[in-house]
Amino acid sequence: MDISYDYYKAFYYIAREKSFTKASSILQTSQPNLSRIIRILESNLNTKLLNREKNGLSLTEEGLILYEHLDIAIQEISNAENILNNRLKDDIGTIRIGTTETALNLYLANTLANYHKTKPNVRFKITNYNTIDAIKNLDLKLIDLAFVTSPIKYDNSFNVLEFNDVIIGGSNFNQYYSIYDLSKLPKIGLSSNTVSYKYYSSLFNQQGLTYDIDIEVSTVSEIIPLVENNLGIAIIPLMLVEKNKNIHTINSDLKLEKRNVLMLKGNINNKIINSFIDFNIKK
């Protein structure tokens, strides 16, 4: 079946936006032309792809099947175009980065700002992951680089920042606590599938204690307001609390080792990615 890629592309954007108007703006063509393309495509495929309803467009069952396959194909074509483009130039292109929220706040946001001053034409696609998912997507070549926090093991990893963790509390938690005392206090933290949780839990387990989370949050930024309101203690990087006057660090015999923000490199090599890697390593 000989159907133009442009027809599939037109359907893809109409289906994604659920709007002929938005799709025509993206594709820089007229709505009548898009309507004509859909009629031809439906005729060639001998099936209805779109339902036109009062509230907009919806996909038929066949339309959804086609869209899901096109989504993969078009993304891969876009990735291939980016790779080819980036191989030719080291100052124009897109770098796909997966990052944990902690790595973004501690290191990556400031680094991107400084790099942008030297390479203003480089674009970034930033996606938030936990460490495990970031590594999976890096290995699948869905992202080019990952920024996560230690402790993890990965072959192509670079330490880009060293930081300290601290125990924090609100006004109701203002005394010295032993690690045993800490194990009994209400705690606020990230979920058990995060590297930070596994690391903190291991410190307690070494002493025969458990690290149980009473309030689980999805991002580190959610921890501080909960600590401010005395809902529990938390362990987070010192750099994230130094400017906050409503919480304080807690003294304890819990030994928190220095940790690192790590840059992980996948198997995709081109000039723009290598340029950004060098920028991070030479900082």
Instruction: Give the model confidence (pLDDT) of 90-114 as tens digits.
Output: 567 889 999 999 999 999 999 999 9
Q: Which fold has domain 5-86?
A: Arc Repressor Mutant, subunit A (1.10.10)
Q: C-alpha distances in angstroms, 83 versus 9, 89, 90, 194?
A: 20, 10, 11, 31
- Residue 124's beta-bridge partner residues? 95
Per CATH, is 89-162+261-281 categorized as 3.40.50.970?
no
Q: C-alpha distances in angstroms, 261 versus 131, 158, 189?
A: 11, 8, 19
- Could you state, in order of their start, the residue ranges of all structural domains in the chain? 5-86, 89-162+261-281, 165-257
- For residue 102, with 0-12 CB atoms within 10 Å meaning exposed, 13-18 middle and 19 or more buried, which class applies? buried
Residue 233: the pLDDT is: 95
Hey, what are 256's tokens? 């928190």
pTM of the model: 0.63
165-257 matches 5-86 in CATH topology: no
Mean pLDDT calculated for residue range 125-143: 93
Instruction: Tell the CATH superfamily of the 165-257 domain.
Output: Periplasmic binding protein-like II (3.40.190.10)
pLDDT in tens, 246-283: 788 999 999 998 999 999 998 877 888 888 999 998 76
Whether the per-residue pLDDT at 89 is higher than 70: the answer is: no
Q: What pLDDT band is residue 1 in, cutting at 50, 70 and 90?
A: low
Q: What pLDDT band is residue 3 in, cutting at 50, 70 and 90?
A: confident
Whether the per-residue pLDDT at 243 is higher than 80: the answer is: no
Whether the per-residue pLDDT at 239 is higher than 80: the answer is: yes
Residue 240: the pLDDT is: 85
Residue 87: the pLDDT is: 58
Pairwise pLDDT comparison (55 vs 238), residue with the higher score: 238
Task: Measure the CA–CA gap between 168 and 176, rounded to whole angstroms.
Answer: 12
Mean pLDDT calculated for residue range 145-170: 93
